[in-house]
Amino acid sequence: MLRTFRGGLLIGLAVAIAIAAGAITYERYDTKTLKRTIRRGEVLCGVNKGLPGFSIPDNKGDWTGFDVDFCRAVAAAIFDDPKKAKFVALDANERFKELQSRKVDILSRNTTWSMSRESNYALYFPAVAYYDGQGFMLPRSRNIDSALDLNNSKVCVQEGTTTVLNAADHFRANNMKYTEVKFPKLEDVLKAYEGGKCDTFTADVSQLYALRLNLIQPSDHVILPDVISKEPLAPVVRQRDDDWMMLVKWTLYAMINAEELGITSKNIDEALKSKKPDVMRLVGTEGSYGEDLGLPKDWAARIIRHVGNYGEVYERNVGEGSKLKIPRGLNSLWSNGGIQYAPPIR
Ligand SMILES: N[C@@H](CCC(=O)N[C@@H](CS)C(=O)NCC(=O)O)C(=O)O
């Protein structure tokens, strides 16, 4: 015990002398994930293997989507290069284990933040990227326009998701009967729905918009306006790696703050010349916010230049600039009627 203590003192003394002599740079944090990521030269991102608007590869293996862009933003902050994000497709069922076993550095995959997921898997959801909720899709020909008119339905749902329990709660709370038609693989759930084996398909509303695009005749299917749950979709990281968690959290907040300040991928060069204090702190011409994260000063400017602000990412992937055309709704900025609100960079 005493020997360890003395040993520790000696190492501490040697480090202090080395710092004073300028021989090594003082590192404020022990950034294991960040260090490994830098050593490897890329960020490993766990994503959905094919959800239009969120993460989907084309036939050349180039990925696009909201969740994909978030990972690219992390890569841009670290490497000044959004291409340094590598995507690993993960099923709903395997996503948490694969993150825990370090197969990926970050999960950016339509995943709902819930208490048990943080506590049971020792994970952490740094901030909400997309406020979603669970809904129902059904054939237009059924002429149903309320989730309260689904008594005695056969409900298609994917196992291993928050969706299963929400559906059970909804039917029980409203005194309705239903039969679950569930499979671990999404393909099988969709096949069952398309094959008429279910009366309705339930999932997060954003996913219903995305999956409807893949049906043979999308316009034959309606998404009911009712939302039966809160699904705050968020990136996920491992617990006890606070500096990595901070980096992921502030990447998202930098994107939201950029939108609020009107800074976009188009006007970032002008923003770098701005004398407005809020803008200067965000783009790194004032303060040492980047250094405090273990990154260069211009970390946020890199994100905005290469990927864009939150609104740009939303619109091009899932909003008006996309096929999904999901209204901004809850994901509008707080100053615009929504609940997207980032703490300030100061
Ligand atoms: N947000 C919900 C649902 C997310 C989810 O995994 N949804 C399914 C249904 S669309 C999915 O992405 N499946 C694709 C797959 O497992 O590859 C959750 O975190 O549990």
92 CA → ligand 1 middle, Å: 5
Q: Whose CA is closest to atom 17 on ligand 1?
A: 91
**Ligand 1 pocket list (CB less than 6 A):** 48-49, 51, 91-92, 110-112, 158, 161-163, 186, 203-204, 207, 231, 233
- Please report which confidence band the pLDDT of residue 7 belongs to, taking 50, 70 and 90 as the band edges: low
**What pLDDT was estimated at residue 1?**
44
Mutate to test the pocket of ligand 1, among 47, 48, 227 (most ligand atoms within 8 A of CB): 48
186 CA → ligand 1 middle, Å: 8
For residue 27, pLDDT over 70 is answered with: no
Q: Whose CA is closest to atom 14 on ligand 1?
A: 186
The CA-based angle 224-163-190, given to 5 degrees, is: 70
**What pLDDT was estimated at residue 9?**
57
DSSP state of 292: H
Q: For strand 85-89 and strand 153-158, is the pairing parallel, antiparallel, or unpaired? A: unpaired
What count of residues does the chain have? 346
185 CA → ligand 1 middle, Å: 10
Mutate to test the pocket of ligand 1, among 90, 186, 231 (most ligand atoms within 8 A of CB): 186
- Please report which confidence band the pLDDT of residue 335 belongs to, taking 50, 70 and 90 as the band edges: very high
Look up tokens 């950034």; give the residue. 31
DSSP assignment of 207-250: HHHHHHTTSSSGGGEEE-S---S-EEE--BEETT-HHHHHHHHH
158 CA → ligand 1 middle, Å: 7
**What pLDDT was estimated at residue 228?**
97
The predicted model gives 131-158 an average pLDDT of: 98
For residue 198, pLDDT over 90 is answered with: yes
**What pLDDT was estimated at residue 72?**
98
222 CA → ligand 1 middle, Å: 20
Q: Give the helix/strand (H/E) hosting 201.
A: strand 200-204
Task: For the chain, give the percent of residues with pLDDT over 90.
Answer: 90
**What pLDDT was estimated at residue 113?**
98
Tokens at 57, concatenated: 């590869």
250 CA → ligand 1 middle, Å: 25
**What pLDDT was estimated at residue 8?**
57
